[in-house]
Each structure stands twice: as structure tokens, then as C-alpha cells.
Amino acid sequence: MNKKKKTLLIGAVVLVLLIGAMLALLFTQPKDDADTSSALSAEEEDVYLYQEEENSLKSLQVTNETGTYSLEQVGEQKWGITALDDYKTDSEAYTDTAERYTQLAAKQKLLDKVTDKAKYGLDNPSGTGVATFNNGTTHTVTVGDMTPDEAGYYAMVDGDEALYIITVANAQKLQQSQLAYLNMTIIEGYDTEDSEAIPTIEGMTIERKDLDYKVVMEKAQQTGDDETQMYASTLQMVSPVECDLDSQHADEEIILPLFGLTAEEAVALDAEAVKSQYGFDDPTATIVLQYDGRTATMTFGSKADDESYYMMFNENNVIYRVKTESVAALTVDPNTLVSSLGILPYIDDVKTVTVEFEDKTYVYELTGEDDELKITLDGKNIDTDNFKQLYQLILNPSLEAIYTGTVTSDPVVSVTYEYRAGGSDTIELYDDGGRQMIFALNGQANRSGRSAYLDKLERELQNLIDGKDVDTTW
């Protein structure tokens, strides 16, 4: 054998011996902390830290950074926390914890023996639970750090030197405050598919530090000729001005989403004693919702973070954290709540429509109903369908904002509806000298819109007289 081949053969033999020695070391050394560098794959499907008889949990004492509290058995398949007896709690949360800590399952058993607890955060546990059962058995569970993949937590149970990985949900039961067992539903929801379940809204009030007026909305009340007018919403604004509301914004986007409102968490009990710590001495907002004969008062303190506020509800003495996006009334621009429409008289209930400019007046007389409706101006017939287009334009001046000022000038145009059943309504439109038009109903200015509407209305009135098609878009 030549020298080169001999050298290669010796090298191969040495390599085999080295590999064999390494494998021998790996497979003969004790299974301890050295294993943690390997992938965290499950060894078996069902791994338990302990298993006790179903519904046999007598108590679970929990200790973590929030303090110590005890979940106690209070009846057959029922548990509770004494400190929360005077509060509305979540019975399902109690049951869930009891079931988890009666037969505590693990994602996997990682080590047979732990020699360095600090390595896994078990020297200073993030949560400790002492589970006591009706048969007198006791198990103490300690939870350490989260695993690197954030899929679980390291845990141990007394009397067992093994290291387990339990689920995040199981670990959180020993890490959470007793406040997690409070019912987080602020206002009960309803079945949106059941028309009879929709709550009857009676009113809403919004007070906010960033507004210099209170927004008050009340159930729309028809007065006088109750058959002559439609309403844009179930509510009307009565403060800072009286006007109709836009149903999509007021009802569908601001009010109805409050049903089913749920807090992110409860942060404190005995709210009256600690409310100053959460900004309730000078509230950010107070929102009062009246429905089905009930009153829901939501008071918002300071910001909890960029996305939520602290909140108190009625007099339940709890401080919650609620997402800002869950309560649209906290940020809504009140100007978007008002209806863009003027008033909405049924056309078949109107006897005359008088449109008066500074230098001319048009009096339209309406007779008949439905397909028999006829329109005359100065004794001459007007095309009914074309007049209906003008009527739509008059009803929709595209109002955009609340107006709380005082009008001192004369109106540029006024429209008076005289009703067949008696009575009348007059709207007046003012030009403020800029691009804004002020709208007033029966002498009360309440909203504003674009002044371009004034020229549009006069132009389409002339088109109707000239027999041209009336265009409602602008």
C-alpha cells in the first residue's frame, strides 16, 4: 500500500472513532439541562403535571406580582373569589380555571430533572398556584419564563423535579389579577337578526373636554301636524341646537355599536377611593345613553395608552380600560351627526310651496295625490315629475355643520310649506358673505352649508319655469 493510501485510511479510521465517541457521550450522559439546546418537539401527546378527579378542586390560591387571592369552591361545579362577591363576575372564567387546574396538562415534558431553576425563571416565578382538592391532596405549580418561541411557559410542580412547558392560557391563569374574573361586558348586546330585539333608543348626551358645548340627542317627537313630516333619524339634536340627525352617523355608527361594549380589562376595584389616580377628577368625557327605560352612564378618565381610556360605568365601583375605537362618541365630530337635509314634508300633504327671493316670489299650488298630483304656478300647469325634482333639491340643501351663531341680516331666500291639514313651516337661507350659507327653521338658525346652493336653487327654479329639466346634482 502506498503512503498516500495508507494516510487516507488512517484518517478515515480516526474519524469513525471520533464520531463513535461523540455518539457514545450523547447517548450515555444524563438527560438534564443540556437538552434545552435541542428543538422543543413533543415527546408524547398527553402529558400531565397531575390529574385529579373531575370537579374536585376545593381551592386554588394564586400568587403573582398583583398579590395573592384564592379561588374557592362555593357549590357543586361552582367557584368564586370572596373579594368579588359584590361585583358582577364571569362564571365561565371560574369554571375554566377550575377545570384546567384539576387536570393540569402540559405541552410537553422538557427535562426529567432541573438543576438550574434560574435559567427558566423558576427561581422568581411569574405565578404560583396552590391547588387543594376535596380528598386533601395539594399540588403547588410554579410558572417561570416564556419559552423562546413564545408558545408556552416553563413550569414545575412540587414533588416532581421535571421541567414542563405549559400553554400560555394555563400560565396566564396564575399570572393574572383576580380582576380578570370580573364580567367585562359593559352594555349587553342584542341579536342583530331579530328586529324585535333592537333596543329602543330614548336619548344620548355627550360631554367632552374638547367641546365647548354639550351634545344632547332625544327621541324624535312629532309635534303639530304629525302627518306632514318625515325624520332622518330616530333621534333629534336638542343641544347645542335643535335639528334633525343623520341616521347612519348617529344611530348606526355612534349609538347602536355601544351594545355589546366590552372592556379590555378591569384595572381597579373600589373606584371611588382611587378614581383620582385614573383622571376621573377631571373626566375626559361623560356619555349617557338612555334606552328601553334604562340609563347607561360612561365616564372616561385619562388615557390608559394611545389606544384606550380608563372608564367607570354607572355605579358598579370598577375602573375599566376600554378601547377608544369601541366608543365612537369619544372622538366623533358633532358636525357629522346632523342631517344634511332640511325638513321633510310629505309632498302629498303640502298645499302650497312658496319660494321667495329678494326680488321675486314663486307660489306653487299642489292638488291631488300620488299619480293624480298636479302642480300649478300662476294658474299654469307645471310638469309634475320636473317639480318633484325641484322639491328634492329644496329638501336637500346639503347642510354640513352645526351653527350656534346669531343671524342679523335678511334671508337671501325663504321657502314656506303650507299644509293641507293646516299650519306651515318656513325655512330661511342666509348668505354670510363668504362661502357659508346659514339655514334656519321657523326663525331658528341651526345649521350651515355651502353658499353655492343659493345660486343652484335659483337656477333650477328658472329651469322649471322655462320647461327645462331640473338637475338636483351640484
The residue that leads in pLDDT, 331 or 359, is: 331
- Rounded Cα–Cα distance for residues 215 and 254 (Å): 13
pLDDT at 40 over 50: no
pLDDT, tens digit (0-9, with 9 covering 90-100), for 133-167:
999 999 999 999 999 999 999 999 999 999 999 99
At residue 46, the pLDDT reads 73
pLDDT of 232: 56
Widest CA span in the chain: 130
| Residue from 218, 208, 231, 300 nearest 261 by CA | 300
Res. 41 pLDDT band, cuts 50 70 90:
very low
Q: Please give the C-alpha separations between residue 364 and each of 347, 370, 377, 429, 473, in angstroms, as whole numbers.
A: 12, 17, 5, 19, 22
pLDDT of 30 reads 38
Q: Torsion angle, CA of 162/72/138/166, rounded to 10 degrees?
A: -10
| Average pLDDT of span 219-231 | 60
Closest CA to 237 of 92, 404, 122, 363: 404
pLDDT value at 16 more than 50: no
Tens digits of per-residue pLDDT, 249-304?
Answer: 999 999 999 999 999 999 999 999 999 999 999 999 999 999 999 999 999 999 99
Residues 339/390/427/206 CA torsion (nearest 10 deg): 0
Rounded distance between C-alpha atoms, residue 70 and residue 82, angstroms: 8
Strand order in the sheet with 374-377: 380-382, 374-377, 361-367, 350-357, 413-419, 424-431, 436-441, 444-450, 399-402
Q: Which is higher by pLDDT, 315 or 182? A: 182
Q: Would the pLDDT of 400 be above 60? A: yes
Grade residue 433 by pLDDT with cuts at 50, 70 and 90. Answer: confident
**Residue for grid cell 328658472:** 462
pLDDT value for 248? 87
Instruction: Give the tens place of pLDDT for each residue, 192-207.
Output: 889 899 999 999 999 9
Runs of H (alpha helix) within 296-396: 384-395
Average pLDDT, the chain: 89
pTM: predicted TM-score of the whole model, two decimal places = 0.80
| Selection from 121, 131, 118, 119 nearest residue 158 by Cα | 131
